[in-house]
């Protein structure tokens, strides 16, 4: 036999099934579709996203993103986790490493439209979740409150990262936080009346698992009071009527840098 054209086979683990060389062409074909690659890139930072969110970030219809996700799941590149009525998708196995390798050999893609991804990016950057702050900015503010001892954790985990049992994109039924020793000082510096927030009929402290960042952000009466203060002080500005995205102003960036050491 001509060994230059011989196909090496080995016995598989399931009753003597023969396996040939890696089917590189099958995987490579999945990356030949730009829309499918956009779906993978939207998940490349470790987030778990619902199909509807992926559709927005990848610029696809709900039907289109579902078809791509089915192929990616069959290939083992993404996995799904059910949370409530929704199913959330994330990269699986060696997909992150594979994307990184391909990116090193790929030329930069020119932006063809100013509208590309702007709405999705705005929502991910800073938005309201009901009446409190979410997105990258909401998560950063919550983490800074923890760092400045305005909040403390009571479960031994000193970060805002997702805990076991936390449902994706949902309020936490039980949360591991309490007010810290510097809460009065820090919230006063931010312009928040802590006593008034305490007097609310709502729970003072509630937290959500942020769908875009997969970390906790502050909700409850205190989260609402903080967001109201940021809006009334001009630190935040709503981008458009009816849009949940908010914009951190120069005043807000300066104020957050001064009090919490963050600039958005």
pLDDT, greater one: 34 or 111: 34
pLDDT of residue 114: 41
pLDDT of residue 5: 37
pLDDT, greater one: 220 or 46: 220
- Calpha distance 19→10 (Å, rounded): 6
- Calpha distance 103→121 (Å, rounded): 21
3-state secondary structure the chain: CCCCCCCCCEECCCCCCEECCCCHHHHHHHCCCHHHHHHHHHCCCCCCEEHHHHHHHHCCCHHHHHHHHHHHHHCCCEEEEEECCEEEEEECCCHHHHHHHHHHHCCCCCCCCCCCCHHHHHHHHCEEECCEEEHHHHHHHHHHHHHCCCEEECCCCCCCECCCCCCCCCECCCCCEEECCCHHHHHHHCCCCHHHHHCCCCCCCEEEECCCCCEEEEEHHHHHHHHHHHHHCCCEEECCCCCCEEEECHHHHHHHHHHHCCCC
* Mean pLDDT confidence for 50-61: 85
pLDDT, greater one: 20 or 51: 51
pLDDT, greater one: 125 or 184: 184
The whole-model pTM stands at 0.65
Structure tokens, 118: 């702007």
- Calpha distance 181→149 (Å, rounded): 6
Domains of the chain: 24-110 (1.10.10.10), 122-260 (no CATH)
Q: State how far the alpha carbon of 23 is from the alpha carbons of 8, 17, 27, 189, in Å.
A: 13, 16, 7, 60
CB atoms within 10 A of CB 56: 18
Q: With beta carbons less than 8 A apart as the criterion, state whether 148 and 218 touch.
A: no
- Calpha distance 238→228 (Å, rounded): 12
- Inform me whether the pLDDT recorded for 174 exceeds 60: yes
* Mean pLDDT confidence for 124-141: 91
pLDDT of residue 111: 44
- Inform me whether the pLDDT recorded for 162 exceeds 50: yes
pLDDT of residue 232: 97
- The confidence band for 220, taking pLDDT boundaries of 50, 70 and 90, is very high
């Amino acid at each position: 036999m001509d060994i230059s054209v011989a196909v090496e086979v080995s016995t598989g683990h399931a009753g003597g099934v023969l396996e040939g060389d890696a089917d590189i062409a099958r995987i490579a074909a999945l990356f030949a579709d730009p829309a499918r690659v956009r779906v993978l890139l939207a998940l490349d930072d470790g987030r778990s996203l619902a199909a509807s969110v992926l559709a927005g970030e990848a610029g696809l219809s709900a039907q289109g993103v579902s078809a791509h996700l089915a192929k990616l799941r069959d290939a083992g590149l993404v996995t799904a986790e059910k949370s409530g009525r929704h199913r959330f998708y994330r990269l699986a196995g060696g997909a992150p490493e594979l994307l990184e390798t391909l990116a090193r050999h790929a030329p930069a893609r020119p932006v063809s439209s100013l509208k590309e991804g702007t709405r999705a990016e705005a929502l991910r950057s800073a938005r309201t979740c009901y009446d409190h702050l979410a997105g990258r900015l909401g998560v950063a503010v919550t983490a800074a409150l923890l760092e400045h001892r305005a909040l403390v954790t009571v479960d031994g985990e000193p970060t805002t990262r997702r805990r076991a049992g936390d449902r994706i994109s949902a309020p936490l039924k039980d949360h591991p936080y309490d007010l810290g020793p510097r809460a009065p000082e820090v919230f006063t510096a931010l312009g928040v009346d802590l006593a008034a927030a305490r007097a609310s009929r709502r729970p003072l402290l509630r937290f959500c698992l942020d769908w875009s960042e997969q970390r906790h952000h502050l909700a409850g009466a205190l989260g609402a009071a903080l967001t109201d203060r940021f809006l009334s002080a001009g630190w935040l500005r709503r981008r458009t009527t009816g849009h949940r995205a908010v914009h951190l102003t120069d005043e807000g960036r300066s104020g957050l840098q001064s009090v919490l050491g963050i600039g958005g």
